[in-house]
Amino acid sequence: MEPGTQNQLPRTRLQRGVRLAGTGLLTGCAGMVILGTTVLADQLHGPRYLLYWRWCFLLAVGAIGAAMWDVILVRRAFRRTRRELFRKKFMTDHFTAKRPDEQRK
C-alpha cells in the first residue's frame, strides 16, 4: 500500500471512470466559459449565443450528474467496507454460536 492510502476506501474501475468523465465535463465547461466570455464574445449573437451557452449548461449538468453518481458509489463502498469490518471484528465463532437459529441466515 502507498503511504497515506491506508485510511482510504478502495476505488473501483467504475468510480475511476465516473471521476474521469466528471473531470472532463467540468474542464470542458470551464473552457467554454473562458472562451465564451473572452475570445468568442464578439462572435456569439442570436441563435449561436443560445446554442453555445446551452451546451455549456448541459456540460455543467453532466458534471453535476457525474458528481452525484460518484457520491452514490463512495457511499456504497463505505457501507461495504463498514460491513466487512464489523464481520471481521464481531462475528466470531463464539458470538455466532450464541445467536438464535432464526437470526443466523
> Between helices 47-90 and 13-37, what is the axis angle to 10°?
150
pLDDT at 1: 44
Helix (H, G, I), strand (E, B) or coil at 100: coil
Tell me the per-residue pLDDT of 45-85, one tens digit each, with 9 for 90 and over.
Answer: 999 999 999 999 999 999 999 999 999 999 999 999 999 88
Helix (H, G, I), strand (E, B) or coil at 2: coil
How many beta carbons lie within 10 A of that of residue 77, not counting itself? 16
CB distance 9 to 77 below 8 Å: yes
Q: Rounded to two decimals, what is the model's pTM?
A: 0.75
Q: Where are the domains of the chain?
A: 14-97
String of DSSP letters for 13-28: HHHHHHHHHHHHHHHH
